[in-house]
Chain A
Amino acid sequence: MEQKGVTIWFTGMSGAGKTALAIRLEKELRNRSLRVERLDGDIVRQGLTRDLGFSKEDRDMNIERVTFVAKLLTRNGVAVLASFISPYRAARAKVREETRNFVEVFCYAPLETLVERDVKGLYKKALAGEIENFTGVSDPYEEPEKPEVTIDSSTETIEQSLAKILAKLEELGYVPPAEDDSAYTEDEEAEIEARLAALGYL
């Protein structure tokens, strides 16, 4: 199956699991021989958009530049995994419009959980007023209204979330199903298990 490019857009507050999921998904897609590129907010902000801050205007410009790159890659048959807080609905809608093949993955966890996790120590600083314009604390996050996938990292394992995303990508035809690597039919497996049980190995 020829690879159909797609932009898979992970959105959610800091610490919700966007990057972790994108990394995990990248590994799985590469296993299925797809071409993949990751665009990550933390990394992009050290390079392509290092001149930008976190005001609304700057956030919108951040997403606009990333969209430019994502669109180029998507139309050349690459699976783009983009992990950005991207708190504004309008900005995300523009990415969807531009890239056309677009799958929005809303990475959710309750704010209390994110503050407790505080994986990068940022919530503490934001709550102390040391960081301004911090999403969830001093800046809004507009939850997606109709994302293709919603994951909840407070109740799901990463494998469960991955399974949901893959199911959607397979359904939409962006990703071929995993090769069935079972060496046995169901009947064969039952017979082999019976053989092992007879020998006391199960």
Chain B
Amino acid sequence: MAMGFLDKLRSKKQAHRVVFIGLDGTPYTFFKRLIDEGRAPNAARLAEQGSLLRMESTWPWVSSVAWSTMMTGVNPARHNIFGFIDRDPATYKQFIPTSRNMQAKTLWEVLSDAGKRVIVVNVPVTYPPRQVNGILVGGFLSPSLEKAVYPPAYASTLQSLGYIVDADPWKARESKDLAIQEVNAALDARIRTLYYLLEREEWDYLHVHIMETDRLHHFLWQQMEEQDPAYAPAFYDFYRRIDDMLGRVADKLDGDTTLLWMSDHGFCTIRREVYVNRWLMDNGWLRLRNVPPDRKKGLDEIDPSSVAYSLDPGRVVIRVRGREKEGSVAPGAEYEALRDEIAAAALELRDPDSGEAIFRHAFKREELYHGPYLEQAADLILAPYDGYDPKGALYKETLTFKGNELVGMHTHDDAMLYVQGRTIPQTRFSVLNVMPTLLNLLEVAPPDQLDGHSLL
């Protein structure tokens, strides 16, 4: 019997939905190994059903830059987030970039404008929470849960779930056992919240970010790589719980919902931390008013005769006249010559212990970024070889250091993206492609001028 008019109305097509899990800092190669070794059976099953791909991160490869790029679909000179720390070049006041500094519309705002209901939890650079059609819980740099939630009333629901904004990193530094305890407690709370939101709330786009992977890696990556019997089992046990969660989430989804997961960068063991400001000082490009500097004075301890300084991680700023406070380097030929000189020297720099090269590339900012906020970017972004972790401390007594507390560092070309139920032919792509892909899945028109395209 042909469908009557009312029957047709009742059976109108369900709009497509998406669940997106962020696995901060989980390398593609590591996750593939887990699958190949049978340690992640759910991920293995899901990988068969879709595309699990290797993806490039941003430069620099820190979560604030990478997730800001993911959530806006534009490069840093358009969203204005260049690192976890930044400075006003005219005053040298340092600040931590937040969503207030982000100058582009986020995916969840675009979806909200299109009438989609969104739930977004714990993504970096989402504090203070922007207004959305749904729920937004700010990321790990939220000062408190109460301030992190939109709408504010939802904080009480999260409190009843035992939600934790972030694992305590100082406790985690005290001992490896405490680190494991902290990240597991935070992971428990995060997963509990994910299941609650998945099952009990209405959404078209549900995005929950697991930060605990990155935490675990910072404190225990080396122990896992070296198969330390005291800690490697706990590391793999943590990932068993991640795998369980992915399987359980996938099993709860209907046929009109696509599961994706993404990591923003990879990880490797730190061979040496590299103090770029120390290197600049050793070469006469940076001088400090006081040695050691007064930490409270921050960049004001930079002597006006300096021509360059570094911000974490591996960003080199040239003290250009007219832009930088008391800057002396003339724009134009003098700036270019100095920038070339510093870039060349960076590529010549060798690890004093091993004799190996530390930096594989020195990007000029215009090679990486284009847009109205280019002037806020550092002038050079130094790309290290894996294992050399560039740091922005203003003063250190040595060029390099190897510590025991923080043992893992980020890498650029080992992030991952998983898209359920789709074959993606493109083998080389980056974080910039994620937002257009999600908009495509949700059948929402992309805003003008995104910097990437959909992978579908």
A interface with B by C-beta (< 8 Å): 157-160, 163, 181-185, 188-189, 191-196, 198-202
A189 cross-chain contacts in B, Cβ below 8 A: 95-96
A185 cross-chain contacts in B, Cβ below 8 A: 143
Please determine whether A200 and B391 come into contact, CB atoms closer than 8 angstroms.
yes
Name, among B96, B101, B273, B325, the residue most crowded by chain A CB atoms within 10 Å (CB to CB): B96
Nearest residue (CB) in B for A193 is B96
In the assembled complex, the CB of B87 is this many whole angstroms from the nearest CB of chain A, namely: 12
Please determine whether B218 and A200 come into contact, CB atoms closer than 8 angstroms.
yes
Which of A159, A196, A200 touches B85 (beta carbons < 8 Å)?
A: A196
Please determine whether B170 and A198 come into contact, CB atoms closer than 8 angstroms.
yes
Which of B62, B143, B218, B327 touches A184 (beta carbons < 8 Å)?
A: B143
Name, among A182, A185, A196, A200, the residue most crowded by chain B CB atoms within 10 Å (CB to CB): A200
* Majority DSSP secondary structure for residues of B touching A: loop
Please determine whether B95 and A201 come into contact, CB atoms closer than 8 angstroms.
no
A191 cross-chain contacts in B, Cβ below 8 A: 143
Nearest residue (CB) in A for B270 is A200
Give the number of A-B contacts (CB < 8 Å).
64
B312 cross-chain contacts in A, Cβ below 8 A: 201-202
Which of B96, B218, B321 touches A192 (beta carbons < 8 Å)?
A: B96
B233 cross-chain contacts in A, Cβ below 8 A: none
Cα A193 to Cα B93 in complex, Å, equals: 14
Nearest residue (CB) in B for A182 is B95
**C-beta contact mask, B321-353 vs A, less than 8 Å → 1, else 0?**
111010100000000000000000000000000
Q: B100 at the A/B interface (Cβ < 8 Å)?
A: yes
Please determine whether A183 and B100 come into contact, CB atoms closer than 8 angstroms.
yes
Q: B90 at the A/B interface (Cβ < 8 Å)?
A: yes
Which of A163, A184, A198, A200 touches B96 (beta carbons < 8 Å)?
A: A184
In the assembled complex, the CB of B140 is this many whole angstroms from the nearest CB of chain A, namely: 8
Q: B99 at the A/B interface (Cβ < 8 Å)?
A: yes
* Majority DSSP secondary structure for residues of A touching B: helix
A159 cross-chain contacts in B, Cβ below 8 A: 90-91
Please determine whether B322 and A157 come into contact, CB atoms closer than 8 angstroms.
yes
B interface with A by C-beta (< 8 Å): 62, 84-85, 90-91, 95-96, 98-101, 127-128, 140-141, 143, 166, 169-170, 172-173, 215, 218, 273, 312-313, 321-323, 325, 327, 389, 391-393, 406
B170 cross-chain contacts in A, Cβ below 8 A: 194, 198
Nearest residue (CB) in B for A189 is B96
Cα A191 to Cα B170 in complex, Å, equals: 12
Please determine whether B84 and A195 come into contact, CB atoms closer than 8 angstroms.
no
Please determine whether A195 and B322 come into contact, CB atoms closer than 8 angstroms.
no
B389 cross-chain contacts in A, Cβ below 8 A: 200
Cα A200 to Cα B404 in complex, Å, equals: 12
Nearest residue (CB) in A for B99 is A183
In the assembled complex, the CB of A32 is this many whole angstroms from the nearest CB of chain B, namely: 16
Cα A201 to Cα B62 in complex, Å, equals: 9
Please determine whether B141 and A157 come into contact, CB atoms closer than 8 angstroms.
no
Please determine whether A192 and B173 come into contact, CB atoms closer than 8 angstroms.
no
A163 cross-chain contacts in B, Cβ below 8 A: 90
Please determine whether A183 and B85 come into contact, CB atoms closer than 8 angstroms.
no
* Given known A-B contacts A188-B143, A192-B143, A201 and B84 have beta carbons under 8 A apart: yes
Please determine whether A192 and B141 come into contact, CB atoms closer than 8 angstroms.
yes
Which of B91, B98, B169 touches A195 (beta carbons < 8 Å)?
A: B169
In the assembled complex, the CB of B169 is this many whole angstroms from the nearest CB of chain A, namely: 4
Cα A185 to Cα B91 in complex, Å, equals: 19
Cα A182 to Cα B90 in complex, Å, equals: 17
Nearest residue (CB) in A for B97 is A183
Please determine whether A195 and B85 come into contact, CB atoms closer than 8 angstroms.
no
Cα A199 to Cα B141 in complex, Å, equals: 12
Please determine whether B169 and A198 come into contact, CB atoms closer than 8 angstroms.
yes
B313 cross-chain contacts in A, Cβ below 8 A: 201
In the assembled complex, the CB of A179 is this many whole angstroms from the nearest CB of chain B, namely: 9
Cα A193 to Cα B111 in complex, Å, equals: 32
B218 cross-chain contacts in A, Cβ below 8 A: 199-200
Cα A201 to Cα B391 in complex, Å, equals: 8
Cα A196 to Cα B406 in complex, Å, equals: 12
* Given known A-B contacts A198-B170, A200-B391, A201-B62, A157 and B96 have beta carbons under 8 A apart: no
Nearest residue (CB) in A for B63 is A201
Cα A159 to Cα B325 in complex, Å, equals: 9
B140 cross-chain contacts in A, Cβ below 8 A: 195
Nearest residue (CB) in B for A187 is B143
* Given known A-B contacts A183-B99, A191-B143, A200-B391, A157 and B85 have beta carbons under 8 A apart: no
Please determine whether A202 and B128 come into contact, CB atoms closer than 8 angstroms.
no
Name, among A181, A183, A192, the residue most crowded by chain B CB atoms within 10 Å (CB to CB): A183
Nearest residue (CB) in A for B393 is A202
Nearest residue (CB) in B for A183 is B98
Nearest residue (CB) in A for B273 is A200
In the assembled complex, the CB of B6 is this many whole angstroms from the nearest CB of chain A, namely: 52
A183 cross-chain contacts in B, Cβ below 8 A: 98-100, 127-128
In the assembled complex, the CB of B297 is this many whole angstroms from the nearest CB of chain A, namely: 14
Nearest residue (CB) in A for B85 is A202
A181 cross-chain contacts in B, Cβ below 8 A: 100-101
